Structure 1
Amino acid sequence: MFKRYVLLLFIIVSCSKEEIRPSYISIKSNNDSIYVNLLNPIISTAFLKIENKLTNQTQFLDFTKPDTLTILKFHKTQIDTSDIFKNYNFTLNFGASSIKTYDSLYNYGLPFSKGKRYRVLQQQNGSFTHFGPVSRYALDFTMKIGEEVCAIREGVVVFVKNDSDEGGSSKKYKSKANNILIYHNDGTFSQYAHFKQNGIIVKKGDSIKKGQLIGYSGDTGQATEPHLHFVLYKPTINGLNSIPYILDSIPSQKYKTGLIATNK
């Protein structure tokens, strides 16, 4: 019987709550000027979204590597520092703010070792949790805790969460899923989620080969049974959106719930 679970929602480095300062934004005063500075820690492409709530204007700043720079400057007579986060929202996102093309014909590998076979737990566009722009094209395989998880494509690790030992069906566990985000050279990203505690064996900055062992499956985060969740993302001005792809020479949409996939 199909056991339902709740999809991990990707946690973007961001801040949109009023009057809360993101960790990557600092304010400094020098003589008569106030400087708003960005410390961008993302090692892949990234962009900062600046929303001016007074004028309803939005600005995008793109980066190709980590950087520190001044993004806004005011005279002290123009604004009080306490009003900056009332008047502006800052959101730092993975990926470029505009990506026109990517390698839609790339043949991704199955996310597990040669000779292994696993059942699709929930297909793309699944009615339970695989809907909406973030998760529409996610796929999930039932895996016991400790099964080998392998990279579906070469790339660079840009985010790792590996310390959680918590999981369950409640929404309070949503942020507890151990997961990896990998950046690919065409500007896309792949995410793998629900690893066991300390089950991820790669770290931020590592270059990954297709088929490489990256960790061991688990049951962390908001889930009712052990499984692997993975998804391919295209960056947009609203964040990372899931996209379809070719998986082991088969369009990912054809991996229906209950299908057994074998890595030959």
Structure 2
Amino acid sequence: MKLKFTQNIKFVIVLLLFPIFSNAEIKVKIYYELTSNGYEIFADNDEFCTVSVKINFTTTNLSIEGGNNKTYVIDSKRKKQHLTTLTEIKKGKAYKFSFQSNSNYGSVLDKEFDIDYVYDLPYKTHENYTVSQGYNGTFSHQNENSLDFLMPIGTEITAVRDGIVINLIDSNNKNCPTKDCMKFNNVILIYHSDNTFAEYAHLKLKGAKVKVGDKITKGQVIGLSGNVGWSTAAHLHLVIFKQGIEKRETLKTKFKTNEATIEFLNENKNYFRKY
């Protein structure tokens, strides 16, 4: 979405205070306030995690504080966070601006994360399931560090790490073996303290046991597995990732497989949870 604002010496064209939603699912509003010699740019973030917004301005007779095409990180549940100032350059001449933006969850400026964190298996004690597709799997995990656990529909899924639920979908009930059905995936998305995310996918219809904004503890039941979306069999798809503005970076993560063993999970291997 692109907006344009113009001011000359005698009057200002201000029709409405427009929000820009660069991603319809992300609840961020970018807006401006008029000053005596330009504009102040602000953002509201109604999400339960930080959000990154990259803004590209097109200006006439306005300088941009901090430079153009810059990424801003907006705090969670923050109102009126100041982003930048546009200031008139030559007095007495008309000035105007327009801008385009892209946004996504998390802080894309924070490159560090807890690489040594040990995750729990995503199911209850004394249960065991097979990793049917591992990191960079040949079916649907090419160039992606994600895991598929074969499990019957309705299996209780547990959180692999503490976090907060920032998004979920569990209203779908359709599946097929092609990528076209990705849009029907049921998912729970959880944000972690080190700016990483866990996505649990293919839940059954109405299978979420949490809601957006819930604080989650490791091992807590969060949903029920299913066979929904891009799926050929009942399973849980789990991926840990860092989010960029346009794409995610999926991560290989270590799991606790029993009281004494910490390891990366391997394809076609069964894992019994003893703890």
Say whether the fold is shared (TM-score over 0.5): yes
Q: Distance in 1 between matches of 2:245 and 2:126?
A: 40
Equivalent residue, structure 1, for 2:75:
64
2:273 counterpart of 1:232: no
Which stretch has the larger CA shift, 110-119 or 230-239?
230-239
Q: Distance in 2 between matches of 1:223 and 1:156?
A: 26
Offset from partner CA, 1:144-165 (integer Å, 9 cap, x none): 1111100001111111112112
Match of 1:223 among 231, 234, 240: 231
In structure 2, the CA distance between the partners of 1:28 and 1:98, relative to structure 1 (3 Å rule), is: closer
Equivalent residue, structure 1, for 2:64:
none
Equivalent residue, structure 2, for 1:11:
none
Q: Distance in 1 between matches of 2:147 and 2:178?
A: 21
Aligned positions, number: 236
In structure 2, the CA distance between the partners of 1:247 and 1:206, relative to structure 1 (3 Å rule), is: same
Equivalent residue, structure 1, for 2:190:
182
Shift of the alpha carbon at 1:238? Answer: 4.3
Offset from partner CA, 1:47-100 (integer Å, 9 cap, x none): 11113478995211112212343657779x5448xxx4xxx4312211112224
2:263 counterpart of 1:251: yes
Q: Distance in 2 between matches of 1:226 and 1:115?
A: 20
Equivalent residue, structure 1, for 2:161:
153
Bigger fraction of residues in strand: 2
SS in 2 for 1:98: coil
Shift of the alpha carbon at 1:31? Answer: 10
TM alignment of 1:124-203, pairs within 5 A: 124-132=135-143, 136-203=144-211
Offset from partner CA, 1:156-209 (integer Å, 9 cap, x none): 111111211222123332121111111111221111111011100101111111
Is the Cα contact below 8 Å between 1:49 and 1:59 reproduced in 2?
yes
Shift of the alpha carbon at 1:118? Answer: 0.9
2:123 counterpart of 1:112: yes
SS in 1 for 2:183: helix
2:273 counterpart of 1:263: yes
Please tell me whether Structure 1 or Structure 2 has the larger radius of gyration of its CA atoms.
2
Is the Cα contact below 8 Å between 1:98 and 1:235 reproduced in 2?
no
Identical counterparts, % of pairs: 29
In structure 2, the CA distance between the partners of 1:26 and 1:63, relative to structure 1 (3 Å rule), is: closer
2:110 counterpart of 1:102: no
Offset from partner CA, 1:115-144 (integer Å, 9 cap, x none): 111111111011222233xxx210111111
CA RMSD of aligned residues (A): 3.1
2:48 counterpart of 1:43: yes
In structure 2, the CA distance between the partners of 1:153 and 1:256, relative to structure 1 (3 Å rule), is: same
Equivalent residue, structure 2, for 1:3:
none
Is the Cα contact below 8 Å between 1:93 and 1:239 reproduced in 2?
no
Shift of the alpha carbon at 1:227? Answer: 0.9
In structure 2, the CA distance between the partners of 1:31 and 1:48, relative to structure 1 (3 Å rule), is: closer
Match of 1:15 among 18, 22, 31: 22
SS in 2 for 1:204: coil
In structure 2, the CA distance between the partners of 1:183 and 1:63, relative to structure 1 (3 Å rule), is: same
Equivalent residue, structure 2, for 1:5:
none
Equivalent residue, structure 1, for 2:216:
208
Shift of the alpha carbon at 1:262? Answer: 0.9
In structure 2, the CA distance between the partners of 1:89 and 1:28, relative to structure 1 (3 Å rule), is: closer
Q: Distance in 2 between matches of 1:211 and 1:161?
A: 21
Shift of the alpha carbon at 1:39? Answer: 3.5
Q: Distance in 2 between matches of 1:58 and 1:190?
A: 29
Gaps of 5+ in 2: 1-20, 61-66, 89-93
Q: Distance in 2 between matches of 1:99 and 1:240?
A: 13
In structure 2, the CA distance between the partners of 1:152 and 1:62, relative to structure 1 (3 Å rule), is: same
Which stretch has the larger CA shift, 143-152 or 39-48?
39-48
Shift of the alpha carbon at 1:225? Answer: 1.4
The TM-score normalised by the length of structure 1 is 0.77
